[in-house]
A and B are shown apart, each in its own frame.
Chain A
Amino acid sequence: MEDVKPQLLKVTIDGIEVEVEPGTTILQAARKIGPAVAPPAMCYYQPLKGSGGKCRACLVRVAAGSAKDPRPMPKLVASCLTAVQDGMIVENETSPQVIDARNGIVEFLLLNHPLDCPVCDQAGECDLQNFAFDHGKATTRYEEDRRTFEKRDIGPYIQLHMTRCILCYRCVYTADQITNKRVHGVMNRGDASEISTYIEKAIDNDFSGNVIDVCPVGALTDKTYRFKNRVWFTKPVDAHRDCPTCSGKVTLWYRGEDVIRVTARKNEWNEVTEFICNTCRFDTKKTSDWTIEGPTKISRSSVISANKYRADTIKPSFGERLAAADYKPIHDERDTSQLSIQQLPAERFAKVLPSALEPEV
């Protein structure tokens, strides 16, 4: 019998057309194109069923609903939940409305999230840090008291620091979906909401450690690793072992000869590919426990790659764009050749910012 392939749907995101299968969300379609047009996601986590829609970081503008009904959608939509239609046109980075909304979301998320990246274990691997770098501002307009909590031990291996939590619900979904004894969830409501366990209970089951991996910020941290190192000083290595509980496929994080942390492997969107058990994560930290596969592939623009490659191979595209956006020709009487700085030619930014070539009005 001949295989019947589902008819592919054409969707255009930021001017780039891509064909996807029915049921694909805008976010997944954008990820198929690549990081340049993929909306940020703080709560959506592909391996977790039902996640997404909460942080609103991935809002996009649907400029045309479909080929049949090309009307734009009245509001920005959460790309992680909205399925694509054939002929849909989506604006992500190209829409000032989207960028404005995302700036707002960063600001909201940072109202109560402390900027203690220098002492946070998640620094360098933090989704919020990246999101804030891309869409945030250097200053805040918030001058009220911030919400603070005492740190809480919620098990032998995990520490909860609610002060940093952004209520993405990922850990709740993880506990719900991959463990058999969920004892934690969200209590209270509004900005008084907090992740908590059921009356002083500990999170204690074979897969509990995965809540650490899914946390996009530093609210849930690994007590066996806390304050031991900075991620950019470590060397990630793929390894596996014969584990009766999970797949045993992990990333080992080396400092010198020592394995200082074990995590599940993650894809380029920072999502766990296979959840691992607590034995692999917390109890097997000798090289002899593992079969080493080789260095983990890390994006060279990631901070984890810092100091590991030649400087000239790292191309931070965002920094370039930022510089281009801020660039303004100097029109004054000075003879710039006499100055110690050289004015950069506008052509240099033509690729990333065509408006740089236009004369200033």
Chain B
Amino acid sequence: MATKILTEHINVPGIETFDVYRKQGGYTAVEKAIKTMTPEAIVEEVKKAGVRGRGGAGFPMGMKWSFLAKPEGIPRYLVCNADESEPGTFKDHYLMKNIPHLLIEGMIISSFALGANKSFIYVRGELMYVIHILEKAIAEAKAKGFLGKNILGSGYDLELVVQPGGGAYICGEETALLESLEGKRGNPRNKPPFPAVKGLYQSPTVVNNVESIATTSWIVNHGGDAYAAIGIGRSTGTKLISASGHINKPGVYEIDLGVPVEDFIYADEWCGGIRPGHKFKALVAGGSSVPILPANLALTLANGEKRLMSYESLSDGGFATGTMLGSGGFIVFDETSCIVRNTWNFSRFYHHESCGQCSPCREGTGWMEKVLHRIEYGHGHQQDIDLLVDVAKKIEGNTICPLGDAAAWPVASAIRHFREEFQWHIDHPTEATQPGAVYRGEMALV
């Protein structure tokens, strides 16, 4: 049975209210942290826990906190990145909607640890009802003395602000988020300087994902070592996975890192298997930006061992045979999925969401989308496949922020693993453009 760190009380009726949350042991971590621990001790516990950023990059959270510059006389900020908008990822939304106080408790502890007196939760603008839930929860916490001036009589002040975003995917990139929070166009900043040195309003800032921040209350209550004991290797703790696609039980699941991918897909506890009568074809393991894997590589490593739900195991073999855990957006495809159409769909998203600041991303994402559109609609040429690979290669690593990589990886990996499908679209334009047409090897049509 998986450990429940974030979702233990999520189904308790009324858990979104302060009183019910408090009855379930909520805010005890705030009391413990503020009354009995120093900020340094909290940072140390988070470091010991080995929790890695849950937004997608997987950077060690404690290390990120320790990079925070602490110049005298300059405020520090904590910003919670709740601009979740990667296709296939919906875990933060689930957490904030159902158990908002868990995030607020985490924000108080993290802000205290970082010495921030004003913190922000930057929520995607479309999620207005979630913003209202958070604002209500903040008001409750403030009324009970857990926010505002002199929290629990400790002398520590914290103001928590919920900021609706503009609804642009790029605003989930930490520096673009800071620009947006400052009221500017959401363009990513060049790094260095990193936000830990010059972030919000040119002050030292830590930007963390909702899930990362929400783990801190458990870490404070149980200790970093207890957290590190869960999971596998450097992938410690639990992870929220938002599972979708052709599975029997789509939803958000909290798993111990290290569960085999096969178990996660087929066990009744989680996805409950592929929908009846169909075959597992491909997997996007960590949100649409990560490389897609065919079924055989999704379940096993190149050396034949079982692939696990962990940062290391999923990325085993680099992009030749591996992918990334990313944000945990787990999308399963069965044999009725057209990989070309799916790749075009992803590409369309990244083309639309590119900020347009740097030339490889601005021009390259559009180019890839147009070529994929042509192939999907039966107007592809033989040279288009290699062209796509080359364009993806020219974008990858050459852009200001990782959106360029996010646009390039799905295309490059789809061609790497499903080249014959692209070829089939080019060779058989009439058949490929029939409604519901999907490449199935010898039997080309559904």
Hey, which bits of chain A sit against chain B, CB under 8 A? 42, 52-57, 59, 75-76, 78, 81, 100-101, 104-105, 107-109, 111-112, 141-142, 144, 166-167, 169, 185-186, 188-193
**Knowing A55-B359, A141-B387, A191-B351 touch, does A107 contact B394 (C-beta < 8 A)?**
yes
Partner of A56, one of B358, B366, B393: B358
Bound-state Cα–Cα, A112 to B374, Å: 18
Partner of A186, one of B185, B360, B367: B185
CB-defined contacts of A56 to chain B, threshold 8 Å = 358-360, 398-400
**Knowing A53-B400, A81-B190 touch, does A144 contact B370 (C-beta < 8 A)?**
yes
**Knowing A75-B397, A76-B397, A189-B168 touch, does A54 contact B366 (C-beta < 8 A)?**
no
Q: Are A108 and B359 in touch, CB under 8 angstroms?
A: yes
Q: Does B288 contact A (CB under 8 A)?
A: no
Bound-state Cα–Cα, A167 to B170, Å: 18
Hey, which bits of chain B sit against chain A, CB under 8 A? 168, 170, 185, 190, 351-360, 362-367, 370-371, 374, 383, 387, 393-395, 397-400
The 6 closest A-B pairs by CB, nearest first: A104-B394, A193-B356, A108-B363, A190-B354, A53-B190, A191-B366
CB-defined contacts of B354 to chain A, threshold 8 Å = 189-191
Taking A166-B359, A191-B362 as given, write out 20 further A-B residue pairs in contact, using a Cβ cutoff of 8 Å, ordered by the A residue number.
A56-B358, A56-B360, A75-B398, A76-B398, A81-B190, A100-B394, A104-B360, A108-B360, A141-B387, A142-B367, A144-B367, A144-B371, A167-B357, A186-B356, A189-B355, A190-B351, A190-B354, A190-B365, A191-B356, A193-B356
Chain B interface mostly helix, strand, loop or mixed? Answer: helix
**Knowing A142-B367, A190-B365 touch, does A167 contact B190 (C-beta < 8 A)?**
no
Q: Are A190 and B400 in touch, CB under 8 angstroms?
A: no
Q: Are A104 and B398 in touch, CB under 8 angstroms?
A: yes
Within the complex, the shortest CB–CB distance from A74 to chain B, in Å, comes to 8
CB-defined contacts of B356 to chain A, threshold 8 Å = 167, 186, 188-193
Bound-state Cα–Cα, A193 to B387, Å: 24
Within the complex, the shortest CB–CB distance from B359 to chain A, in Å, comes to 5
27 A-B pairs, CB-CB below 8 angstroms?
A: A52-B190, A54-B359, A56-B360, A56-B399, A57-B359, A78-B190, A101-B398, A104-B395, A104-B398, A107-B394, A108-B360, A109-B359, A111-B367, A141-B387, A144-B371, A167-B357, A167-B362, A185-B185, A186-B356, A189-B168, A189-B170, A189-B354, A190-B351, A190-B352, A190-B353, A190-B354, A191-B363
Partner of A54, one of B353, B365, B400: B400
Q: Are A190 and B362 in touch, CB under 8 angstroms?
A: yes
Question: Whose C-beta in chain A lies nearest to the C-beta of B393?
Answer: A104
Q: Are A55 and B358 in touch, CB under 8 angstroms?
A: yes
CB-defined contacts of A81 to chain B, threshold 8 Å = 190
Q: Are B394 and A53 in touch, CB under 8 angstroms?
A: no
Within the complex, the shortest CB–CB distance from B297 to chain A, in Å, comes to 25
**Knowing A101-B398, A104-B360 touch, does A190 contact B355 (C-beta < 8 A)?**
yes
Partner of A105, one of B360, B367, B387: B360
CB-defined contacts of A42 to chain B, threshold 8 Å = 359
CB-defined contacts of B370 to chain A, threshold 8 Å = 144
Q: Are B363 and A109 in touch, CB under 8 angstroms?
A: yes
Question: Whose C-beta in chain B lies nearest to the C-beta of A190?
Answer: B354
CB-defined contacts of B168 to chain A, threshold 8 Å = 189
CB-defined contacts of B397 to chain A, threshold 8 Å = 75-76
Q: Are A190 and B359 in touch, CB under 8 angstroms?
A: no
Bound-state Cα–Cα, A100 to B399, Å: 15
Within the complex, the shortest CB–CB distance from A217 to chain B, in Å, comes to 12
Q: Are B387 and A111 in touch, CB under 8 angstroms?
A: no
Question: Whose C-beta in chain B lies nearest to the C-beta of A82?
Answer: B192
Within the complex, the shortest CB–CB distance from A33 to chain B, in Å, comes to 24
Within the complex, the shortest CB–CB distance from B167 to chain A, in Å, comes to 12
Within the complex, the shortest CB–CB distance from A306 to chain B, in Å, comes to 30
